[in-house]
Amino acid sequence: MMATEQTTNAILTARFAKMTNPAEVPTYVDLAGYQGLQKATTLDTAVLLNELETAGLISRSGTGENIAAQWQALAKAKGQTKYVVCNANEGEPGSFKDKALIQKDPLAVIEGMTIAAYFLKASQGYLYVQGEFPEFIENFATALNNAKAAHYLGTNILGIPGFNFDIQIMVSGGGYVENVADAMIPALEGRVGKPGRKVNLVKRGLYGAPTLVHDPETFANIPVILRLGGSAYRDLGAKDAGGTILVSLSGQFQHPGLYEVALGTPVQDILYQADYGGGSTTGKPFKFIHVGGQAGALATPAQLVDCAYTYSDFHAQHLTIGCGVIVAMDDSVGVVDYLEKVAAFYCAESCGKCLAGRVGSVRIKEQLQKFQRHAGVPGDLRYFAHTVDHVAERSLCPVGQSIGNAIFSGMKLFPDEFKQSINWDAPETKEVPW
């Protein structure tokens, strides 16, 4: 993994290379750390919210939510107790931005959570993190202890009476579904991390209280907005959303890795410029680009020619930026083979709670494997599309509901590769799924 400061206006990765010990408070403070929190505590909450609104920060978790609107709703929510949760359970294949932040600039995440706590008058926060990366947890725990020792966490933070906030680390089971609030909240409460009751984070989140949940990248943006001012932050990005975004490039890029990219950067630059992805390893043009993670759709390079890396441009192409994942493949990779891997991921990550997700994901994978063997018969493609549609429609949570995005876009963009997997002389399948 590589982390770079691609833009002259790098705001999230600016400290990465400068901190030999990223958990150390004095170094963090020397590099503009805690200026955002200092500023926040001088502002009226309405002014603070206005800065967020002006900044135009969109959640970097992939949900696409407007952060100012979320904060406003939680500020208005009834209840004495409110919680701040950082979801660092980054399990999206091809995404490594949150791990990088937790490892290389944990205090930025902590500072962002502390500003949120100040705004919401929350006194308890949680970092929800995968247990597979003990070194990250250790690093974050050291940063927490250091922040507490320097009075940036704990009681009377910055000497302000009553400004009390602490953060506890909660280790997740690592399931992909635990990124869905309906599964994450029970897991945080010590129950099984599967979707249960419908969670409304504003009304009844953690322990029934209003709960703010962001990913580490979103939290790391908050101090920057306060430090620079909402307007200056917005100017770093695009019309529809301010700031920069961490983009994880993988697949067949010549320069795979993590890049900080200004929102509004032409996608062509990210794919092909030497200081970003640098094109394909073979020098051949890319055949397809998978954007937004496993739940996102495939696109052809032609679709992205005039496209800027913005939420609105992607929306216009029926694509999603998601959590900033871009996977690119050249013509050495078959679409059916690629999608079989996507389906295998869904099978492995099915929590088993609902029939459609549990059994349907297996059926989808099996059918793709049949296509890989060129063993399909007439009728199979129709049956396959029915199955995918059924799973997407009947699944209990967004994991199963999103399975069709990559598959249907692949079928639409590369129909011949699916047709080639069928023996058209064979008798038609008589299977009728439902």
**By CB under 6 A, residue 353 contacts ligand SF4:** yes
Is residue 225 part of the contact set for ligand SF4 (CB under 6 A)?
no
- Complex with ligand SF4: residue 13 or 294, whichever CB lies closer: 294
Our finding on whether 388 is near ligand SF4 (CB under 6 A) is: no
What does DSSP say about strands 83-88 and 124-130: parallel, antiparallel, or unpaired?
parallel
Window of 42-50, 160-168, 250-258, 347-355 that interacts with ligand SF4 by CB under 6 A? 347-355
CB of 396 to ligand SF4, least distance (A): 4
CB of 416 to ligand SF4, least distance (A): 31
**By CB under 6 A, residue 350 contacts ligand SF4:** yes
Regarding 185 and contact with ligand SF4 (CB under 6 A), the answer is no
**Least distance in Å: CB of 216 to ligand SF4?**
23
Assess 395 for contact with ligand SF4 (CB under 6 A): yes
Stretch that binds ligand SF4, among 100-108, 212-220, 247-255, 352-360 (CB under 6 A): 352-360
Tell me the chain's radius of gyration from C-alpha atoms: 23
CB of 158 to ligand SF4, least distance (A): 42
Taking CB under 6 A as the binding criterion, the range among 61-69, 242-250, 391-399, 411-419 that sits at the site for ligand SF4 is 391-399
Residue 67: CB atoms within 10 Å:
23
CB of 179 to ligand SF4, least distance (A): 10
Distance CA 8, CA 20 (A): 22
| Shortest distance, position 350 Cβ to ligand SF4, whole Å | 4
The nearest distance, CB 290 to ligand SF4, in angstroms, is: 20
Question: Which amino acid is present at 232?
Answer: A
Q: Which residue of 131, 352, 415, 433 would you call a contact of ligand SF4, by CB under 6 A?
A: 352
Binding residue (CB under 6 A) for ligand SF4 from 177, 188, 246, 289: 177
Asked if 397 touches ligand SF4 (CB under 6 A), the answer is yes
How many chain residues bind ligand SF4 (CB under 6 A)? 14
Is residue 343 close enough to count as binding ligand SF4 by CB under 6 A? Answer: no
For ligand SF4, the binding residues (CB under 6 A) are 177, 195, 350-354, 357-358, 395-397, 399-400
